[in-house]
Amino acid sequence: MSRVCEMCGKKPAAGKSIIRKGSPKYKGGIGLHTTGISKRRFLPNLHVVRVSDGKGNTKRMCLCAKCIKSGKVAKA
C-alpha cells in the first residue's frame, strides 16, 4: 500500500531529527550543542475507509485523517 492519500495527495515528507546536549542559556547553562543529525520521515495519518460514490456503489479508499474529518467524502 502506498503512503499517499487518494483524495488530497498528501504523502510522506522528509525532515531531520536533531540530538542536542547541554543546558539552555535561559536556564543558566552555556547553551545547547548539536551532537547528531539524522534523517527521518513524517508519514501522513492514513486510514482505509469504505466510501459511497453517490450512485449506491461503495469502494475502499486510503484517506488521511484530515480528509475524513473535514467531510470531503461520504462514508458508506
Our CA angle for 36, 39, 44, nearest 5°, is 140
Give the rounded percent of residues in the chain with a pLDDT score beyond 70.
99
26, amino acid identity = Y
- pLDDT confidence of residue 13: 97
For residues 40-46, average pLDDT? 96
- pLDDT confidence of residue 1: 67
Give the rounded percent of residues in the chain with a pLDDT score beyond 90.
84
CATH classification at residue 58: 2.30.170
Expressed as residue numbers, the domain containing 38 is 13-75
Give the three cell numbers for residue 40. 527521518
Residue 43: inside a domain, yes or no? yes
Residue 6: inside a domain, yes or no? no
Residue 3: inside a domain, yes or no? no
Residue 4: inside a domain, yes or no? no
Residue 7: inside a domain, yes or no? no
Q: What is the pTM of this model?
A: 0.74
For residues 31-58, average pLDDT? 94
